[in-house]
Amino acid sequence: MGELALGQNVRIAFMPWHGYNFEDSILISDRLVSEDKFTSIHIQELTCIARDTKLGAEEISADIPNVGDSALSKLDEFGIFYIGAEVKAGDILVGKVTPKGETQLSPEEKLLRAIFGEKASDVKDSSLRAPFWR
């Protein structure tokens, strides 16, 4: 008496597989899984700010250089992930590009820019990505 009990009691079975003493398992009811009895929701607030830098203004966009189409598939035309999109750790939540100056270009990038006139090399990917949960 006088104790606060939070939670649910669960009946489980702990048994060896085919009589062996290794590869043991815990069996639970399929109903626990289908009714989401032990599902939890974690909410974390993340902020992405587009700032004005010395090299120019950062831009929130879905047009991010050197990023594959699979990484951009969850972004809408404004560069923000769709409502209801299933994201995993490392996925882009908000696409953002930052201008980079000539001093930040590697020799290879300078050569490619001189040959192909790539405008994509003027910006770098600074997108907000989903963190790795612990």
In tens, the pLDDT along 9-26 reads 777 777 666 666 665 666
Please tell me the predicted confidence (pLDDT) of residue 119: 57
Identity of the amino acid at 99? P
**CA 12, CA 96: separation in Å to the nearest integer?**
48
What is the second-level CATH architecture of the domain 52-129? Beta Barrel (2.40)
Q: Provide mean pLDDT across the span 86-93.
A: 90
Q: Which two tokens stand for residue 109?
A: 């990038």
In tens, the pLDDT along 95-126 reads 999 988 765 667 887 777 777 665 555 788 89
Q: Provide mean pLDDT across the span 52-63.
A: 88
| Confidence class for position 80, pLDDT limits 50, 70, 90 | very high
Tell me the residue ranges of DSSP E strands in 6-85: 13-15, 25-27, 52-53, 56-57, 59-60
